[in-house]
Amino acid sequence: MISQPSLVDLACEEIKRLIANGDLGADERLFEPRLAAQLGISRPPLREALRILAAQHIIEQTPRRGYRVVSLSQNDVDEIYGLRYVLEKFALDQLIPKLPDADFHDLEETVTRMWDAARNDDAVGVFIANRDFHLTLVAMAGHRRLQQAYSTLMDQMQLYMSRNLSIEAQTHGGLLEGCKRHERLLESLRSGDAAAIAEAFTAHGERRYLPISAAQASIW
Amino acid sequence: MISQPSLVDLACEEIKRLIANGDLGADERLFEPRLAAQLGISRPPLREALRILAAQHIIEQTPRRGYRVVSLSQNDVDEIYGLRYVLEKFALDQLIPKLPDADFHDLEETVTRMWDAARNDDAVGVFIANRDFHLTLVAMAGHRRLQQAYSTLMDQMQLYMSRNLSIEAQTHGGLLEGCKRHERLLESLRSGDAAAIAEAFTAHGERRYLPISAAQASIW
DNA sequence: CAAAAGAATACTGTCTACATTCAACGTCGA
DNA sequence: TCGACGTTGAATGTAGACAGTATTCTTTTG
């Protein structure tokens, strides 16, 4: 059963897009009347959308002083990466027992996309494929709350990165190198060997998680 | 700078209270007009509150069919406990390096409260003290997003438990036994020895996390 | 008697409008 | 010239009303 999305849902997506595009910068205030007019909706549905985004830590609200786009400090980035690592590790732990019956199709598709984009030097394409790879991986764990928490975290990072850094500057070690690491991780998953998976995952994330400067935030 | 809480905040708290009290049962629909009248506010602030609670997975929304209190299946309980374990473990990892400079005052206070309540056979008091112990512990890690995720999870469990089970039935091993386990965990934290902490934490959570039936959900 | 269709009711989604509060700017005084 | 106070303007917090849609009950037909 499908239904047309409500204005609230549309507003959420559109505001996230505005932030990702850089139309709304870090620390920028969101004025309800202006934004409502810009989106062509009235304030009530917009306000509900803002509440949702605030709950996801994409914007923050201070009473009587409205909403503003969050600006991530170095500490914030460290927090996000640290939590992301833990959640993805947990996802793998949950996933490993299920691997024999797992369907790798979706995961393979993202890796294929990643290779294609990398060969065309399409950094944005690699970026998106990478994001989808990890979201798919976590989704395979079959843990709804985990998936939810993880994708919220990814959203926070993604919005920040597309705002502050050129994608190219964030691809440590080159596009093709990153593809290879994901390929290896996928292979280890196919093997189902827990030790190999742990190793591939650690190698994959080696330079990315744990003390990492905000300016060096990596897309992987 | 202080400011009076908005109706949205008040509505959030009140609705959570209604659920905890059992006035709103699992799977029960939340009718906006009725609820707004009951709370003495109009629908717009109520709707914003509902959006927030939905984002916290305390209620769920289906388009054009309103909101309903979530009902937790056994699988949901397993999910929450699993994630809670991972997050609290991560909190300890983050906390250990900071232990030499840590202030245990707040933590000690919750343990004191727990003992007092246990001696008076006050299961609800123990329940609350236990909750505060873990929230305080996680807060000491100094990781805002972690703390946020953790307390959201605790809310989900707490609301469910106070709805479905008598507190007494959930205190595995007796009230005093639980106090002792927390006391030991606190002692290990004071020692600062990582191995001892890990052991105390595992012993503390032994029977609680991982395959646990919904009916057996424990307060610890 | 049961099932399906239609009508009535009630709830959600959305909008317009009003009250309240905060922040910035200008003015007045020291 | 600098600081403080008051005023003004704009944005947030809230309320009430209307339109559209789902659900339920009743009625009618097979």
Chain B contacts of A91, Cβ < 8 Å? none
Q: Range(s) for CATH 1.20.120.530 in chain B?
A: 74-207
Domain A74-216 has CATH 1.20.120.530: yes
Q: What is the pLDDT of residue B107?
A: 95
pLDDT in tens, A129-159: 999 999 999 999 999 999 999 999 998 888 7
8 Å CB contact of A63 and B5: yes
Distance A3 CA to D20 C1' (A): 14
Which residues have a Cβ under 8 Å from the Cβ of A202 and sit 6 or more positions away?
none
Instruction: Determine how β-strand A67-69 pairs with β-strand B67-69.
Output: unpaired
Q: Range(s) for CATH 1.10.10.10 in chain B?
A: 7-69
B35, closest nucleotide (Cα–C1')? C11
Residue A137 or A71, more confident: A137
**Pairwise CA distance, residues B51 & B61, whole Å:** 8
Domain A7-69 has CATH 1.10.10.10: yes
Q: Shortest Cα distance from A131 to chain B (angstroms)? A: 20
Q: What is the pLDDT of residue B168?
A: 56
Which residues have a Cβ under 8 Å from the Cβ of B43 and sit 6 or more positions away?
B32, B33, B36
What mean pLDDT is reported for chain A?
83
Q: Shortest Cα distance from B173 to chain A (angstroms)? A: 29
Would you call B91 an interface residue with chain A, using a CB distance cutoff of 8 Å?
no
Cα–chain center distance at B60: 19
Domain B74-207 has CATH 3.40.50.720: no
| Cβ B130 vs Cβ B68: under 8 Å | no
pLDDT in tens, B142-187: 999 999 999 999 988 887 776 555 555 566 667 788 888 899 999 9
Structure token digits, residue B97: 């390096």
pLDDT in tens, A21-43: 888 888 888 888 888 888 888 88
Cα–chain center distance at A100: 27
Would you say the C-beta of A65 is within 7 Å of strand C? Answer: yes
Mean pLDDT by 10 residues, chain B (220 residues): 72 88 85 87 88 91 87 87 92 92 93 91 86 95 94 86 60 76 91 85 61 51
**Pairwise CA distance, residues A27 & B24, whole Å:** 39
Structure token digits, residue A134: 């990890």
Chain A contacts of B144, Cβ < 8 Å? 76, 79
